[in-house]
Amino acid sequence: MNPVNPYLDIAPEVAEALAAGKPVVALESTIISHGMPWPQNAQTALKVEQLIRGEGATPATIAVIGGRLKAGCSREEIEYLGRQGHAVAKASRRDLPVLVARGADGACTVTTTMMIAHMAGIRVFATGGIGGVHRGAETTMDISADLEELAQTPVMVICAGAKSILDLGLTLEYLETKGVPVLGYGTDELPAFYTRTSGFRVDYRVDTPEELAAAFRAQRAMGLKTGMLVTNPIPAQYSMDKAVIDAAIDAAVAEAKTLGIHGKETTPFLLAKIKDLTGGDSLDSNIQLVFNNARLAARTAAALCR
């Protein structure tokens, strides 16, 4: 039984790296089961792990399998999550107690990946984009649990900004209210997932993994309880035309509203619809930005260990 949490399993490779003070990077599993189709989902997840190892860090894909909180998944477990797809529950904070009690499977969102990473002692987490305040939230109150987790769980989250299907301005306002620092890696402007710019400014620009590590160390040393959000723009060659992606997003949002799709089903529906509307270009961009974030996360985790 794990002394930290009786439901937590830390993979041997991850446990050894943590015990030795070596860099570890957490990875989410919703992107496997809900973010991409089979077999690209598992192929991408395994490629991300390979990229992190290539930077000298240890990957820890995080999921719930058979009611166990997994800080580190095997190749077989990643392929299982990919094949099962939407049959695996999308697991946010509210879902964990029931999934664990039932011995069920769960694909971890940004929220639950942060939670389990923190339980295991992992400080850096790479993902695609975070959730945020949805368009029309002033009437629907549809606000991602990711923002609340960033407000209370001390993990650095490296992403390509908030997903551009969201209200980016309100998302930044919410993070400011919660005291979460939003840093731009090599940029003063918030990236918008598929595109490098959004028209909104981040709190601070940083230009090296060492600067990121220093800011996170200072945050921890002061006893501040929030996480830290690092926004890393998609590489220029994979950035999509803003007019094209905005048109696809507007059409997808309108269809979701017509169909009455809401809650945790919103983001998977919108991402799938945008992929169809862009002829698959958005999926290609999604994969490349995840690779880019994984590299930066590994380098930052290494800087934290130095």
Q: Long-range contact list for 206-211, CB < 8 A, 24+ apart?
A: 206/230, 209/296, 209/299, 209/300, 209/302, 209/303, 210/303
pLDDT single digits (tens) 265-306: 777 787 778 778 777 777 888 899 999 999 999 999 999 999
pLDDT band at 25 (very low <50, low <70, confident <90, very high): very high
Tell me the percentage of the chain whose pLDDT exceeds 70. 98
CA pair distance 109, 205, nearest whole angstrom: 26
- Considering the domain architecture, whether residues 44 and 150 belong to the same structural domain is answered as no
| pLDDT over 80 (residue 120) | yes
Catalytic residue among 70, 90, 163, 273: 163
pLDDT given at position 164: 73
- Considering the domain architecture, whether residues 134 and 281 belong to the same structural domain is answered as yes
Q: Beta strand pairing status for 156-159 and 124-126?
A: parallel
- Considering the domain architecture, whether residues 8 and 106 belong to the same structural domain is answered as yes
Query: Which two tokens mark 275?
Result: 């992929």
**Residue 89 amino acid letter:** A
Quick check: pTM over 0.85? yes
Active-site residue 163, yes or no? yes
- Considering the domain architecture, whether residues 78 and 134 belong to the same structural domain is answered as no
- Considering the domain architecture, whether residues 205 and 137 belong to the same structural domain is answered as yes
Q: Round to the nearest angstrom and report the end-to-end CA distance of the chain.
A: 31
Domain boundary pick from 102, 122, 142: 122
- 8 A C-beta contact, residue 44 and residue 289: no
Active-site residue 264, yes or no? no
Max mean pLDDT range (76-90, 187-201, 229-243): 76-90
- Considering the domain architecture, whether residues 191 and 248 belong to the same structural domain is answered as yes
Domain boundary pick from 65, 88, 122: 122
The helix/strand/coil state of 179 is coil
Q: Residue 3 burial (CB < 10 Å; 0-12/13-18/19+)? A: exposed
Where residue 92 sits, what CATH number does that domain have?
A: 3.40.1790.10
- Considering the domain architecture, whether residues 221 and 91 belong to the same structural domain is answered as no
Domain boundary pick from 101, 122, 143: 122
* Residue 302 Ramachandran class (φ > 0 left, ψ -120 to 50 alpha, else beta): alpha
Instruction: Report the pLDDT averaged over residues 165-191.
Output: 96
The secondary structure element, H or E, covering residue 24 is strand 24-27
CB neighbours of 131 closer than 8 A, spacing ≥ 6?
A: 109, 110, 144, 145, 146, 147, 162, 163, 166, 267
- Considering the domain architecture, whether residues 117 and 160 belong to the same structural domain is answered as no
- Considering the domain architecture, whether residues 299 and 175 belong to the same structural domain is answered as yes
Instruction: Report the pLDDT averaged over residues 137-164.
Output: 92
CA pair distance 265, 221, nearest whole angstrom: 38
| pLDDT over 70 (residue 220) | yes
- Considering the domain architecture, whether residues 170 and 92 belong to the same structural domain is answered as no
- Considering the domain architecture, whether residues 164 and 306 belong to the same structural domain is answered as yes
Q: How many domains does the chain have?
A: 2
Tell me the percentage of the chain whose pLDDT exceeds 90. 75
Query: Please, what sign has the CA dihedral across residues 103, 109, 114, 117?
Result: positive
- Considering the domain architecture, whether residues 141 and 215 belong to the same structural domain is answered as yes
- Residue 21: which domain range? 1-122
